[in-house]
Structure 1
Amino acid sequence: MGKLRLFFIGLIITFYPIISFGQDVHFSSFNANPMILNPANTAFGESVFRAGTMYRNQWETLSKGYNSYLFTAEALAYKNRVRRDGIGIGINFMADVAGTLSYGQQSLGLSLSYFKAIDQNKEHYISFGIIGNTSSWGYNQSNSIFGRYPEDSEGILLNQIRTFDIGLGLHWQIKANETHSLQAGTSLLHINQPSLSYYENSNINLPMKFNAYVSDLIAINYDNSISPTIYFQNQSKFMELIIGMDYNINISETSINQQIISLGAYYRALDAMIIMAKYKQNNFSCGLSYDINLSRLTPASKSYGGVEVWLLYSFSPNGYKRSKTTIPCPAF
């Protein structure tokens, strides 16, 4: 009986964050892939194609910590060369696995965006986006131990859930002057709140998620700039506020081989300090971030948090990239 009780306690701890509140896959490098942050960012910017990947490992000091994966691809499907208006399309795949039961989520999403210049100088833009996601949530049944009877009075316990949800996003960006490029955006995801329960008859749903962000790229001089950012998200009873800044250093030796190193520090309220390092060379960029745990789990995690690595490749035809009316790239 004691072992059975411990098993169910462990099962509740493992499933509780997802079943009760249905939180999404979480990345600290929220600004590494703009399309995931907001569907309105799909193919928005100076590139006509982008592809990226990201990996996160968290809480390895505990048994079978979290492992999260992300793959994205996006392209400019249509553009008006005169007005610099356009349509973007993107696809993403996310996976999250945790615990001895290999409990996790797999999600495939398709996003569309429409962006429009709202000034004659083509330095002021607004973008709208929509995303649809199909997801499966489940665990490895071969690693689980149940009693003789697979049914109980509450219904049949499933080992996999499938959901479909939609989301909307809005992004605004302006190059205010030669030293400031300001952007802000918001998105609302899981608008239809699909059912999310391991029992056939249940009213547990995946809650909507709201996020908003503001960032400003501020040039100090030709070779140095800073990017202060505020990010907020809310899902069910959970809220997250991240405040921080990147310091960007231009180490380019020639104009045709642009290289930028960025060092950043961010604070996630009441949870962690996030340290980031990024490198960009022409169309290729990569980054590394590390969470220093400051929450109540510090004794158990020994202050270790999560480590993330990411890669991003973008393609821009030379004529479009060097155009004086190029869409200002997101300052993230």
Structure 2
Amino acid sequence: MKRLITTIAVLAVTYLSTAQQDRHFSMFFANPVQLNPGAAGHIDGDLCIFTNYRTQWFTVTANPFRSFSAGVDAKLFDNKLKNGFIGTGINFLNDVSGDAKFSLNVIQVPINYTLDLNKTSQLSLGLQPGFYAQRLNENALYFDNQWTGIDFNTAVSSGETLGAYNLSRFDLSAGLFYDLKTSDRFNMQLGLGGFHLTAQEVSFFQVSEKLYRNFTFYGKAMYRLDDSKLSFHPALFGLFQGPNWELTFGNNFEIELKESSKHTGYFDGMSLSFGVYYRTSDALMTNIIYKAGALGLGVGYDINLSGLTVASKSVGAVELFLKFTPSFAGSAGGAARIQ
């Protein structure tokens, strides 16, 4: 039994150190505030309500990895501050993975100050205090004395004292975000972010192990052809966390189905976009996004291309997001942003 406990400890430490990497979503461009606290408030509207869900490796294991996030962000004092606004909100992430139901819960509060550099560009500096909690579910573990000869009977006491498998820590992130809009046909956003700046201890079994700091960069642009209903939305995301790194890039092709009324606001515009992205040495990702006015709905699918294809049969993940960005009556609003 000591060998089993030791094995679990080694696996946990390995996961949280050499192989640790933050959870993230393939349709990262849909909600940049998840990647950078400086992006809070940079929305085409006065408020953004966002949620997404991802499930993966369901052809590999009976317990697929599942990730869920939700968040709200808004711009404050947009009409009162002469040279910018304050962006803030709240983000929540829940992730469950593996047979031991390893779970992660994160609550973050991004806040930034956005400065108008000129009539076409803005620069934001943001901080993001948060709460980071993780847990292993010991009730999901099986032990040799619970084996009946056919299966495991978890109603039988394991006879083991496993100790605490829960921990929570303060977390801190920061980000720099640049937003440029030269016309209704061109918009660009760039961001640099740093996460887990406190490098908090996150290991179980009394083993001292710190969470690697996570550094990211993000970029996205929107370009619409002259007198055309077609626009291009290239995006790029890079992540560096300890020995791990990742680069994702691709493009969404958006087709305008119906133009919104420019003067009365009576008719909401509608569009449909198709995207193809590549995550280095891991996956080819596709998506379809439908937008009607302030409402957006996206569906994505990952095709696994890594060495795990033997087990995954190239099935990676399914992902969904829902986004709502309303503008309130009487609001002055702001320049249209990338959505």
TM value normalised by structure 1: 0.88
Cα drift, residue 144 of structure 1: 1.9
Q: Deviations over 1:53-87 (max 9, x none)?
A: 11000000122110011011122232235735111
The residue that corresponds to 1:327 in the other structure is: 335
Q: How many residues align?
A: 318
Q: Deviations over 1:19-58 (max 9, x none)?
A: 5443222211111112101111112233221111110000
Question: Is this contact kept in 2: 1:21–1:206, CA < 8 A?
Answer: no
The residue that corresponds to 1:22 in the other structure is: 20
1:218 aligns with 2:218: no
Question: Which of these residues, 107, 124, 128, is aligned with residue 127 of structure 1?
Answer: 124
The residue that corresponds to 2:133 in the other structure is: 136
Question: Is this contact kept in 2: 1:19–1:196, CA < 8 A?
Answer: no
The residue that corresponds to 1:196 in the other structure is: 202
1:251 aligns with 2:239: no
SS of match in other structure, 2:30: coil
Equivalent runs, 1:16-55 vs 2, <5 Å: 16-55=14-53
Cα drift, residue 89 of structure 1: 1.6
Q: Deviations over 1:139-181 (max 9, x none)?
A: 2121224675647xxxxx5311211110100111112345322
Q: Gapped runs of 5+ residues in structure 2?
A: 144-157, 262-266
Question: Is this contact kept in 2: 1:22–1:196, CA < 8 A?
Answer: no
The residue that corresponds to 2:82 in the other structure is: 83
Cα drift, residue 327 of structure 1: 2.8
Distance in 2 (CA, whole Å) between partners of 1:46 and 1:205 is 38
1:105 aligns with 2:111: no
Distance in 1 (CA, whole Å) between partners of 2:167 and 2:8 is 20
Identity of aligned residues (%): 27
The residue that corresponds to 1:154 in the other structure is: none
Distance in 2 (CA, whole Å) between partners of 1:13 and 1:21 is 10
Cα drift, residue 196 of structure 1: 1.0
Equivalent runs, 1:141-156 vs 2, <5 Å: 141-145=138-142, 148=159, 150=161
Change (3 A) 1:178 1:313: closer
Distance in 2 (CA, whole Å) between partners of 1:141 and 1:6 is 13
The residue that corresponds to 2:67 in the other structure is: 68
Distance in 1 (CA, whole Å) between partners of 2:133 and 2:282 is 28
Change (3 A) 1:8 1:294: farther
Change (3 A) 1:8 1:65: farther
| Amino acid paired to 2:324 | Y
Distance in 2 (CA, whole Å) between partners of 1:69 and 1:15 is 24
Distance in 1 (CA, whole Å) between partners of 2:189 and 2:6 is 47
| Amino acid paired to 2:22 | D
Q: Which moved more, 1:25-34 or 1:79-88?
A: 79-88
Cα drift, residue 253 of structure 1: 5.0
Q: Gapped runs of 5+ residues in structure 1?
A: 152-156
The residue that corresponds to 2:210 in the other structure is: 205
Q: Deviations over 1:221-273 (max 9, x none)?
A: 34111011221111111111011001011111552211111110001011100
Question: Is this contact kept in 2: 1:84–1:327, CA < 8 A?
Answer: no
Q: Which moved more, 1:217-226 or 1:76-85?
A: 76-85
| Amino acid paired to 2:291 | K
Distance in 2 (CA, whole Å) between partners of 1:51 and 1:301 is 33
TM value normalised by structure 2: 0.86
| Amino acid paired to 1:310 | F
SS of match in other structure, 1:46: coil
Change (3 A) 1:7 1:275: farther
The residue that corresponds to 1:262 in the other structure is: 273
Q: Deviations over 1:190-212 (max 9, x none)?
A: 11100111033x33101110110
The residue that corresponds to 1:297 in the other structure is: 308
Distance in 2 (CA, whole Å) between partners of 1:191 and 1:297 is 32
